[in-house]
Structure 1
Amino acid sequence: MASRQTQNLEPTSILAAIAELGIGGNGAFLDGEFHGGECRIFKLSFKDHASIAVRVPHHPSNDDDIIAIIQNEVRILQLLEAKSFHWSRDVAALA
């Protein structure tokens, strides 16, 4: 199994990743952080765009778990898009 990089969840790294993906608007800033059993969720706000949530799953133990998690996330996003949730379209495009 290939080695994995340690998650870097510093605010500057999260903001850089969002900018790299071209998501959101200008003047992004971290506006909240929430911890759950399976993930951490960061609220990012923008000067000129609606805020977004960035959900970062905790590292699973093996590659099969990673694949299963990603497949489940894609199914959830597709279901939300099919139900016409207005916020799901931008996110579903990433899946």
Structure 2
Amino acid sequence: SGGSLDSVLHTLIVEKFMAASSIITVSSGGEYVVRVSGVNPQLVDFMKKPLSPITTLVLAASAMVLGKPLKLVREEVRGATLEVAMGVAG
């Protein structure tokens, strides 16, 4: 489905949208955690609201790549770093 989750998210968020400087994706036990680091300073304020645009993009792109419906488990913001945890819905 067009590459690994990590590479697809990197292409979208880092290369195409220039929204952050790096992406790290970890999966364990049916949960996927995506750490978006070096978020563009112009977007940091948007991360302070629940379900930020970057989180929405991560969820949508991840569901497409994995071919599974996903639900948001956790969204944490620390400075210019966003951590999104997702689980398979259903």
Give the TM-score taking structure 2 as reference length: 0.36
Higher relative contact order (CA 8 A, sep 6+): 2
Query: Which structure features the higher share of strand residues?
Result: 2
If you compute each CA radius of gyration, which structure gives the higher value, 1 or 2? Answer: 1
Give the TM-score taking structure 1 as reference length: 0.35
